[in-house]
Structure 1
């Protein structure tokens, strides 16, 4: 914001730890160095920058730097000199080259979504703290060897040019959230799914759009009504923000959402939006009762790959286990339909603690990272990553429970998070193991 820049220049931000400036900058404001002893988070997104100063390391406390939606064609080497920098975000630039020297030694979270990358340096595989790597919407057909990145949990490779994925991905012990849709190796099955989208189309003219219900990285969800008069029904309308989201292409999400079919523990998708006056893509979903609410917020800077739950949230043991049983049932359904979810998180769950017997305590949604699983060992590996994500969720639910969780719940979470994916249970096994929990 311009006011932030003016206040910085007026000396009004002395001691600030966070700073955001969006003022059509084409050069780095030197006044930022006045905060060298306190600044930890710097957001320069939405400017016209193409370079950063060579002495950026003077910001010796800087942990987070965002410079999305600028004009960078190369990841600046100055980043690699910052001693505490661990989160780097350059989404939506024109970056075609990542020098090895640009990668900070403490790198934990790297966002290069929607750029022009065809390759990455081998040095990336020598960042053992790397936990989150977002590369959707580039031109990548290969990855450097990341087997030393044993902490890597979230990886976004959607909307690239992979003919195949490296086999060593299945060996990464912590990888749980992987988006791979929109690549050459699964193009045929995605194309077939897209051809079926026309029959599921809902015209914009049939909708009445209401208030904003929520917003995520890929789109905004509005309340709405479908149809006229007594036949009208309440719906939720998801409008995608752009051609490439942090998880991939909207068309891939739409195809996966519709291919998922119906299941009592999935948020129902009614059809694909067509005829928006501005060409915006979207989905029309059933409107869920307001008694349901999102279980958690998405990960923060500090938590990186872990959801942020309300500080005062406590669950009864029975509710925690019913949520887990509902998710396991939904996941088994998706895997049986040839899909992997890729983003199995509490922030993609709606829950209702007082749901009547037989109805869903939790509903799973958001297919932004979903993909059609390939045949063979790779498809099985992707499914076991979903299972690990379920194990993380189950352990979090047990931690939120007011009383001690049953031993079988803790043991199941541990099995799901085995470092060797082949030792993890399948989704059908999860559904069977948790079925009795649904009626507690």
Structure 2
């Protein structure tokens, strides 16, 4: 028996605010309700659950519910009766039906990635607090038109579905900043054209010797490696091997396509080639090894911050350093847009910096391809990314040490334009880069 479950049944969890149970459960242990006056986060992921009790609302303080990797075939209506529930995560189940009654009134963050959903209820548009919606890896062909009223919505993941077009209202949302839509029928042609236009060196797996793991994300694992050169010398590199399954952002092959199509830029990690002849036919990229002085600018959003990054208490820099970082990232995004790529995840946690202001933009997991035959829609998409940059400028400026008047005014003015609630009023990245003096 799971140790936590044993403690729960022994009455040793009184007053707990968080409970994690991953032990093959087929039903919710009734002892959970003894925590009704304290429990705020309930993690039931990785079990064999098919239903939840109809009186789940007795957990009246519950704010966060994780039920990923279970056996649900529909989103339980009991979830919608929880009065304080804000975050609902049912990733990687077998859900095909989402009843309107299953949507809690205070919903901010909904994760339904990797299911079998082909329709969402119109009542989703009545969830005015909704900020984050993750739907990659389903069978959706449309979103409810009522969602045009979701004016707080900031992050949408709709990749790897069956959309023939972007919803017409989506790009007019005033706060939309992070959008992923690759792996849908309407984005397949731009992705294929980008790949065809970018010849890539094939690097034989036999010439690579993997060493220690550098990191792991939703889409793959990165190792430091040695690449044997024709003269027998060994070149230090990084190798990213993709997992192949749909992620919270979409298909790994879309990420790979965007990485290859981006081309060289000082603000991007150079791609040296594509892994060929892997014994398991795994897809992979060989990348320039980043200097170890580079580190993540921020941590990813927390349950509380929802869509905004979490910075360390010691995250401080000069105005000159902030301006240097902003210039580098703006230039990198301008490069991506010029090559028909929307990054989709412009965040501090996807930026590496070296303490002096040199910055590298990484993680193309949410990248999508801009339409080649619709300039108006392409520019509207680019302006969603401008809002993400405005959020980044806000975070950089908030941690500046006594900026001079000119730099402060420049960053504040550009930030305000990028955060304009009217998407049409935001600048494109060529203009942003020019304003920053790149």
TM-score (norm 1): 0.94
**2:258·2:368 contact (CA, 8 Å) conserved in 1?**
yes
Determine if contact 2:379/2:428 at 8 Å carries over to the other structure.
Answer: no
Alignment gaps of 5+ in structure 1:
356-360
Q: Distance in 2 between matches of 1:281 and 1:102?
A: 38
Which one is further off, 136-145 or 229-238? 229-238
**Deviation (angstroms), 1:199:** 4.2
Once the two structures are superposed, the pairs formed by residues 348-427 of structure 1 within 5 Å of their partners are: 348-354=350-356, 361-374=358-371, 375-404=374-403, 405-427=407-429
Residue 194 of structure 1 deviates from its aligned partner by 4.6
Per-residue displacement from partner, 1:124-166 (whole Å, max 9, x unpaired)?
1110000000000111110012111111000001111111111
- Structure 2 CA distance, aligned partners of 1:421 and 1:41? 35
Shift of 1:5: 1.1
Alignment match, 2:138:
138
Residue aligning to 1:69? 69
Counterpart of 1:147 in 2: which secondary structure?
helix
* Contact 2:33-2:59 at 8 Å conserved across structures: yes
Q: 1:86 maps to what in 2?
A: 86
Counterpart in the other structure of 2:156: 155
Please report how far the alpha carbon of residue 242 of structure 1 lies from its aligned counterpart in structure 2 after TM superposition: 4.0
Q: Deviations over 1:317-338 (max 9, x none)?
A: 1111100000010011111111
Name the counterpart of 2:312.
310
Which sits farther off after the overlay, 325-334 or 24-33? Answer: 24-33
2:224 alignment partner in structure 1:
223
CA distance in 2, matches of 1:32, 1:223: 44
CA distance in structure 2 between the partners assigned to 1:278 and 1:24 by the alignment: 30
Report the secondary structure of 2:437's partner residue: helix
Mapped pair 1:48 → 2:48: yes
Report what 1:15 is aligned to.
15
TM-score (norm 2): 0.95
Which moves more between the two structures, 31-40 or 200-209? 200-209
Shift of the 380–187 alpha-carbon distance from structure 1 to 2, 3 Å rule, reads: same
Give the Cα–Cα distance (whole angstroms) in 1 for the partners of residues 201 and 14 of structure 2: 56
Q: CA deviation at 1:392?
A: 0.6
Q: Give the CA deviation at 1:198.
A: 8.1
**Structure 2 CA distance for partners of 1:274 and 1:43, relative to 1, 3 Å:** farther
Conserved? CA contact 1:248–1:368, under 8 Å: yes
Q: Specify the alignment match of 1:358 in structure 2.
A: none
Structure 2 gap segments, 5+ residues each: none
**RMSD across aligned C-alpha pairs, in angstroms?**
1.6
